[in-house]
Amino acid sequence: MSVRRVHPPGLVRPVGFSHATVATGRIVFLAGQTGLDGTGRIVPGTVVDQFERALGNLLTALAAAGGDPEHLASLTIYSTDIPDYQANAEQIGAVWRRLAGSEYPAMALVGVERLWDVEAVVELQGFGVLP
């Protein structure tokens, strides 16, 4: 399995994402994960708290499928409040680096009116490529 991050010379060097990823291997599709705790409730707190739990949940699902954080090829983040997400981007980046490392998949942030769980402010969905 290989995942190669692509940063074309004609595009601005990305911070916190890759412009593209080229991957070979088995694909695992990861369902959207919110900040649900072990009891099925959204963790209280900020977008950073919910992002941390959602990313942890996503990585748990990826691990159960046989993958590690470096196997993430693409990630879509759904946010109910993009300005709040942007205001906390530095802390969210620190959470990413602590849980997933210094490599980033191809990513997109999408603003939504609300998520399935009314209390959720962020949801992560993606896919990984396994060896």
122-130 and 72-79 strand pairing: antiparallel
pLDDT tens-place string over residues 21-34: 787 889 999 999 99
CA distances from 72 to 52, 81, 85 (A): 16, 24, 21
Sorted by where each begins, the domain ranges of the chain are: 2-130
Q: Residue range 35-64: average pLDDT?
A: 97
* Contact of 94 with 60, CB cutoff 8 Å: no
**How far, CA to CA in Å, does 129 sit from each of 46, 48, 62?**
31, 26, 10
Lowest model confidence (mean pLDDT) among 3-12, 34-43, 102-111, 112-121:
3-12
Structure confidence by residue, pLDDT tens digits, 79-106? 999 999 999 999 999 999 999 999 899 9
Query: Which position has the higher pLDDT, 120 or 18?
Result: 120
Instruction: For the domain covering 2-130, report its CATH number.
Output: 3.30.1330.40
> What letter would DSSP give residue 13?
P
pLDDT at 3 over 80: no
